[in-house]
Amino acid sequence: MIISRTVQDVRSLSSVAKASGRKVALVPTMGYLHEGHASLIRRAREEAGFVIVSIFVNPTQFGPNEDLDRYPRDFERDRETCIRSGADAIFAPSVEEMYPAGFSTFIEVEGGMTRFLCGARRPGHFRGVATIVGKLFIAAQPDVSVFGQKDAQQAAVVMKMTREMGLPVRIVVSPIVRESDGLAMSSRNSYLTPEERLAAPLLKRSLDDAAELFHKGERTTEKLTEAVLRRLAGSPLIKPDYVEIVDNETFEPAARITERPVCLAVAAYLGKTRLIDNLVLGVEK
Ligand code: AMP
């Protein structure tokens, strides 16, 4: 496993791989890897002959009262997961490497897409995401980059940013990987107390309740979000942050579901831990 710590180094790794005729894939992560990340790496392996996993806890995407300082880290375990999943290299730069002193250049996707869901609840979050992903793309020069459906709005923001900045990177979105009880895998699940962990699968069950209503013909977003909230109310440990239905491409709120697929997204606090999950509802033609 090649470990690269600098932009210059990862760029030369990428150009050497390309010179040998291989496509380069990048899987951006914040580390503390789990099976969700591993599935992205395996997908990247199918797409390209040289797979780079970036591990960087990006300070600019955390708000002042968020969990930057306590975000979990375990580089040795991550390295093993990368090897096991078929990665060729890890790019793990320092904060100073990505944000040298005096850094003041940002990429911001403005308007619609970033005004709702996590964009509304975490001011500045997607500015940090767009900036770091743009910087990672410029550093590692991938042909393709794999993101998880788990962070659906993030994937949409990255696709828009990549297209509008004219970066020659194909974005692939890979399905959500879940624990056997339905809880979407997340590095943040490690924060949960045993009681919170028992309650956490209600997030997925609440989405399933709405999906069931949808498949019975319900098309008003109000009724569907009500079903989600009803299920979440089943545990006093869960405090919903948002439940919203947005267009699956623009991420702007949808009042009624017509012919375009929508994303039903939920965020909720369990104690101090904020978890997100989502489900795409498509209208069959
Ligand atoms: P993170 O390390 O949480 O920033 O996530 C890095 C990438 O892994 C993002 O593209 C996430 O959407 C993706 N990811 C995180 N959890 C999952 C999961 N349970 N299933 C699929 N992809 C995931």
Residues 96-145 have pLDDT tens digits of 999 999 999 999 999 889 999 999 999 999 999 999 999 999 999 999 99
Quote the radius of gyration of the chain (alpha carbons, Å): 19
Does residue 57's CB lie within 6 angstroms of at least one atom of ligand 1? no
Residue ranges in the chain modelled with pLDDT below 50: 285
Give the ligand 1 atom nearest the CA of 186. Answer: 16
What the block records as the tokens of 55 is: 């591990």
Q: Which of 52, 91, 150 most suits a substitution to test ligand 1, by most atoms within 8 Å of the C-beta?
A: 150
- Burial class of residue 255 in the structure, from the number of CB atoms within 10 Å of its CB (0-12 exposed, 13-18 middle, 19+ buried): exposed
Q: Are strands 273-281 and 262-270 parallel, antiparallel or unpaired?
A: antiparallel
Which tokens belong to 158? 């990255």
Identify any residues that bridge with 22 across adjacent strands, giving them in sequence order. Answer: none
How much is the pLDDT for 112?
84
Hey, which residues are catalytic here?
37
The identity of residue 166, as a single letter, is G
Q: Ligand 1: which atom is nearest the Cα of residue 185? A: 19
Residues 62, 52 contacting (CB under 8 angstroms)? no
CA distance 164 to 167: 8
pTM across the whole model = 0.97
